[in-house]
Amino acid sequence: MLYFHKAGLVLLATPKTGSTALEKALAPRADIVLQGDAQIKHCTFQRYAWRMEKFIQIFTKDLPETVALIRQPEDWLSSWYRFRHGAWLVGTPRSARGLSFDQFVEGYLAETQPPYAAVGRQARFLTNPKSGDQVDQIWCYDAMPVFLRFLEERLQTEITLERVNTSPDWPVTLSSELRARLEAQYVQDYDLYARARRDL
C-alpha cells in the first residue's frame, strides 16, 4: 500500500496485479509505504478503512481517494498457479508442482481449499464485507498503460515499470466445465472486473 499525501491518493496492492513493480517505481515518492511481509504490503481495503484511514486523517481532514487494480479472475488464478510452481515452494504444501491448472482450480473451488490453492479473492480484497464499501477506483489490469497515465497525471511524475516478481510466462488451459463453475462461484469477482475502469 502506498499513500501520497499531496495527491490525496492511496494505492492498494492487489496481489498478482503488478504491485511489486508499482511499489518499486513509486515508493520513493510515497509518504507512507507498507511493504515487506505480504500481509502488510497487501493491506486489504477493509483493513485500510479500519485502521490506516483513521491514521491518515490525523494529518488531513480530506479522505484520500483509494485506487487498486483487478485482474480477469481466470487469468489471476493462472498467475497464482504459475507462481506456486516456484522452486522455493517445492516440498511444501503450497507448491503446485505436478498439478494441472484444472486440478489447481478444483482446489480453489473446494469448500476447504488446499494450501496450494488458498490464494484469497480479489473481490474480498477490494470490498469491506461489513459495510459493502469498495475501493473508490478499481482499474482493469489489462489497461495498465492507461492506469499509469492516470497515476502520472495525479502524481505529476513519469512512471516506468520494470518486470519484477513475475510468474513464469507459459500458457495454461482450463476446461469449459471448470470455467463455468468458476464464473458461477465467484460471480462477484467477475462482476467487479467487468465494471473496472479501462479508460481515462
Rounded Cα distance, 77 and 101, in Å = 9
Q: Which residue's C-alpha cell is 516456484? A: 86
Is there a domain that residue 174 lies in?
yes
Residues facing 32 on adjacent strands: 3
Is residue 122 scored above 90 in pLDDT?
Answer: yes
Under the banding of pLDDT at 50, 70 and 90, the label for residue 165 is: low
Is there a domain that residue 12 lies in?
yes
Average pLDDT over the chain, rounded to whole? Answer: 95
Q: pLDDT > 70: what percent of the chain?
A: 99
Under the banding of pLDDT at 50, 70 and 90, the label for residue 54 is: very high
Is there a domain that residue 200 lies in?
no
Is there a domain that residue 159 lies in?
yes
Chain centre to alpha carbon of residue 86 = 19
Helix (H, G, I), strand (E, B) or coil at 90: coil
Cβ count near 137 (within 10 Å) = 16
Under the banding of pLDDT at 50, 70 and 90, the label for residue 164 is: confident
Average pLDDT over residues 81-92: 94
Is there a domain that residue 55 lies in?
yes
pLDDT at 57: 94
Q: Domain of 114: which CATH number?
A: 3.40.50.300
59: containing domain = 2-195
Rounded Cα distance, 16 and 31, in Å = 23
Q: Which stretches does DSSP call E strand in the chain?
A: 2-4, 9-11, 32-33, 65-70, 137-140
Is residue 169 scored above 70 in pLDDT?
Answer: yes
Tally the domains of the chain.
Answer: 1
Average pLDDT over residues 45-65: 95
Q: Residues 2-29: pLDDT tens digits?
A: 999 999 999 999 999 999 999 999 999 9
